[in-house]
Amino acid sequence: MKSMLIISRQAPWSGPGARESLDIALAGGAFDLPLGLLFLDDGVFQLASNQQPATLQQKDLTANLQALPLFGVESLFASARSLQERGLDGAALNLTVEVLDDSALTSLIDRYDQVLTL
């Protein structure tokens, strides 16, 4: 069975990409596919605590994020540079992720058979 890395690059309020990446991860996890989820660029905003999506008439993705480990999606990663550039503290995120530097990100991507970027 081929492994897949899903790279989520969109903020939760900038379009459907964030929700779609989570939906794909949850579906893959439900079928026991070997997959990982990487939050990169503005995608790290999905991990920020105290979001108020209702003010933008958006749905809250927090429940979807919290469900990832329940569906077997436990390989969760975030870019250290993306977090730093956006002023997010890796210790104050709403989901436990492994924070990786740029060289570790390259190694991570190379480990997976397929990479899907949303």
Q: What is the pLDDT of residues 5-38, one digit of tens each?
A: 999 999 887 778 888 999 999 999 988 889 999 9
In this predicted model, which residue has the larger pLDDT, 13 or 99? 99
Q: In this predicted model, what pLDDT tens digit does every residue of 42-87 receive, in sequence order?
A: 999 999 877 655 554 456 677 788 889 989 999 999 999 999 999 9
Q: With beta carbons less than 8 A apart as the criterion, state whether 11 and 46 touch.
A: yes
Closest CA to 78 of 111, 43, 49: 43
In this predicted model, which residue has the larger pLDDT, 101 or 61? 101
Q: Look up the pTM and report it.
A: 0.90
Note the pLDDT of residue 114: 95
